């Protein structure tokens, strides 16, 4: 039996990422103003890489796992002969 999602739960699902983004921007602002985090080329590349890895994990995780499982099955069949 599927449970129905209430409108309150939908609102929480909407505002939770917004809270994380707000907290992240606030932290970023404080770290930048106190010169704890200095934006140079290396920092920007590192931040871009981390954001790409998060994006890839969230959006491509299923595709990558499926392809790896197919490859593992193919290799296992080769060894079974």
Average pLDDT over the chain reads 84
Select the more confidently predicted residue: 54 or 12.
54
Are residues 54 and 20 both part of a single domain?
no
- Chain centre distance of CA 71: 25
Same-domain check for residues 53 and 77: yes
Query: Given a cut of 60, is residue 1 above it in pLDDT?
Result: no
Give the chain's domain count.
2
> Do 50 and 81 sit in the same domain of this protein?
yes
- Residues 56, 74, single domain; the answer is yes
pLDDT band at 75 (very low <50, low <70, confident <90, very high): very high
Structural domain span for residue 74: 39-81
| 2, 23: one domain | yes
d(CA 8, CA 5) in angstroms, rounded, equals 8
> Is the pTM of the predicted complex or chain greater than 0.85?
no
- Do 58 and 22 lie in one domain? The reply is no
Alpha-carbon distances of 50 from 20, 29, 40, 53, 70, rounded to whole Å? 16, 18, 16, 5, 28
């Amino acid at each position: 039996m599927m449970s129905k999602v209430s409108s309150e739960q939908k609102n929480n699902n909407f505002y939770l990422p917004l809270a994380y983004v707000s907290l992240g921007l606030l932290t970023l602002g404080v770290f930048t103003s106190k010169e704890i985090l200095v934006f140079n080329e290396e920092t920007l590349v590192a931040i871009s890489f981390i954001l790409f890895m998060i994006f890839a994990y969230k959006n491509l995780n299923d595709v990558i796992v499926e392809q790896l499982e197919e490859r593992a099955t193919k290799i296992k069949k080769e060894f079974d002969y």
